């Protein structure tokens, strides 16, 4: 018992899965950027805690270069993170919309199947009643 909504329901299911896959991808990218930010903070903290050779690095200028690179990398990662958060909000909204559409079409398809089933039962009952009324030896003669 297929209804006109079954094809639409399948399409919305595919659209929902695609939207969820895009959202999962954005979440994975966000997690990767967050992990890199944490690693940079660990490196910065380790550098600040190390006293051995710090004076020599400072004299050569390596410490300043290292700290500058870390700060610049952290700044770029924070920019990436900000853009990813916007994309995450957009992909979440798209996934929610796709989910809602799929739910609506699933409900419509289910309702249409139930209506079809009820219509067939009513038609069968009507045919049975007509058959008994048309037959002189049917229910009316009892």
- Give the model confidence (pLDDT) of 69-113 as tens digits: 889 999 999 999 999 999 999 999 999 999 999 999 999 999 989
Nearest 10 degrees: CA dihedral of 16, 17, 19, 25?
160
Sign of CA dihedral 60, 65, 66, 68: positive
Position 7 pLDDT exceeds 80: yes
CA angle 134, 115, 12 (to 5 degrees): 150
Cα–Cα distance list, 124 to 39, 57, 101, 140, 142 (Å): 72, 92, 34, 19, 22
Domains and CATH numbers, the chain: 4-135 (1.10.287)
pTM for the full predicted model:
0.70
CB atoms within 10 A of CB 104: 14
Task: Identify the residue with better confidence: 6 or 31.
Answer: 31
**Mean pLDDT score of the chain:** 86
CA distance 59 to 126: 100
Helix axes 4-49, 62-134, angle to 10 degrees: 160
Contact 16, 99 (CB under 8 A): yes
Task: Identify the residue with better confidence: 63 or 121.
Answer: 121
């Amino acid at each position: 018992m297929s209804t006109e909504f079954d094809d639409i329901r399948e399409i919305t299911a595919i659209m929902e899965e695609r939207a969820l896959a895009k959202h999962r991808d954005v979440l994975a990218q966000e997690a990767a950027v967050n992990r890199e930010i944490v690693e940079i903070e660990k490196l910065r903290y380790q550098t600040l805690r190390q006293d051995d050779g710090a004076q020599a690095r400072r004299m050569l200028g390596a410490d300043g270069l290292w700290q500058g690179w870390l700060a610049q990398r952290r700044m770029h990662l924070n920019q990436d993170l900000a853009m990813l958060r916007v994309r995450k909000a957009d992909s979440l909204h798209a996934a929610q919309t796709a989910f809602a559409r799929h739910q609506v079409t699933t409900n419509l398809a289910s309702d249409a199947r139930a209506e079809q089933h009820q219509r067939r039962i009513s038609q069968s009952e009507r045919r049975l009643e007509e058959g008994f009324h048309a037959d002189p030896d049917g229910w009316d003669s009892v």
